Amino acid sequence: MASNNLLVILAIVAIVLPSVTMATDYWVGDSSGWTNGYDYQAWAKDKVFYVGDKLVFNYTMGNHNVFKVNATGFSQCIIPPSNEALTSGHDIIPLMVPGKKWYICGVGQHCAQFGQKLMS
Ligand SMILES: *[C@@H]1O[C@H](CO)[C@@H](O)[C@H](O)[C@H]1NC(C)=O
Ligand SMILES: *[C@@H]1O[C@H](CO)[C@@H](O)[C@H](O)[C@H]1NC(C)=O
Ligand SMILES: [Cu+2]
């Protein structure tokens, strides 16, 4: 009986542990951070994002912001209402569900003209 319990516990650890230890914090744009004129598509291209990973948008507060948008908002740079913006300068977004996500900067023409948009 005791060894059965041990096996169950080991099985649970074997399932849970990798998803905990392998969660990755991605600094969007690496050392460039979240800014104008950076190719975030190229940055994301070779990455696979999993539930439990986090995206860190790092920038000087006030210079940029982060909106989560849908595919249309991404391709057309449609800025959502300002109360939906993340503005801390160090916005950490945990990936809660699988699937594609889209983020844009809503300051000026950063998305439309300077490519400040990320599809993950
Ligand atoms: C985060 O962004 C700030 C402002 O641009 C910059 O000074 C700092 O070096 C960045 N941190 C990292 C770890 O990239
Ligand atoms: C995408 O977001 C826009 C608002 O930015 C909304 O009007 C539109 O209905 C959304 N499209 C889908 C497919 O959810
Ligand atoms: Cu911006």
Q: Dihedrals φ, ψ of 25, to 5°?
A: -95, 115
Domain ranges in the chain are 24-119
Specify whether domain 24-119 bears CATH 3.40.640.10.
Answer: no
Which residue is closest in CA terms to ligand 2's atom 12?
70
Q: Give the model's pLDDT for residue 95.
A: 97
Residues bordering ligand 3, an ion, CB closer than 5 Å: 64, 105, 107, 110, 116
Residue 116 exposed, middle or buried by CB count within 10 Å (0-12, 13-18, 19+): buried
Residue 5 CA to residue 8 CA, distance in Å, equals: 5
Q: Which ligand has the minimum distance to the alpha carbon of residue 29? A: 1
Secondary structure class of 16 (helix, strand, coil): helix
Secondary structure class of 74 (helix, strand, coil): helix
Count CB-CB contacts under 10 A for residue 7: 10
- What tens digit of pLDDT does each residue of 12-69 get? 556 555 555 689 999 999 999 999 999 999 999 999 999 999 999 999 999 999 999 9
Q: What is the pTM of this model?
A: 0.85
Q: Give the model's pLDDT for residue 110.
A: 98
